[in-house]
Amino acid sequence: MAGVLFEDIFDVKDINPEGAKFDRVSRLHCDSESFKMELILDVNTQIYPVELGDKYRLALVTTLREDGGIDDGEYDPTDDTPNRANSYEYVMYGKVYRIEDGASMATSGGGPDQHSPKLAAYISYGGLLMRLQGDANNLHALEVDQRLYLLMKKLAF
């Protein structure tokens, strides 16, 4: 699909492990199923409740248009043209503000893996933060200052 930078299914492994900092926001710690990525994501749980053990399909896309055409980053609720957001439950628009390579990331145990260099991408969605970390091959399409959408949908399992 044109405009899709990353897509996978994530399992919520922990919620607010350092304690809740805000009343309406929870920090999710998740692991992906297919690409073995680690995700830390702030979610507005007042409008999108999340529970430990939930599974989500998460996609990072550059446009909501299904044809992959460029959009202006503004949502128009009166526009009834089909778009990717219609297939998801939670949508945020943000900006990549930092990308770190494995050499600059703090190691969390285990030895270095020369076969799969790691990257971490940091994205801000109006103050709600995200870190997606894992194999560089899965994050090669992300660039600093790039604007993108996060799309999430809870999966029944």
Tokens matching residue 115: 């076969």
pLDDT tens-digit profile of 49-61? 999 999 999 999 9
pLDDT beyond 90 at 157: no
66 has pLDDT over 80: yes
pLDDT value at 106 more than 70: no
Full-model pTM: 0.88
Say if residue 111's pLDDT is above 60: no
Decide if 26 contacts 40 (C-beta within 8 A): no
Q: Which of 47-51, 58-62, 100-104, 131-135 has the lowest average pLDDT? A: 100-104
Half-sphere exposure of 57 (CA within 13 A, CB side): 11
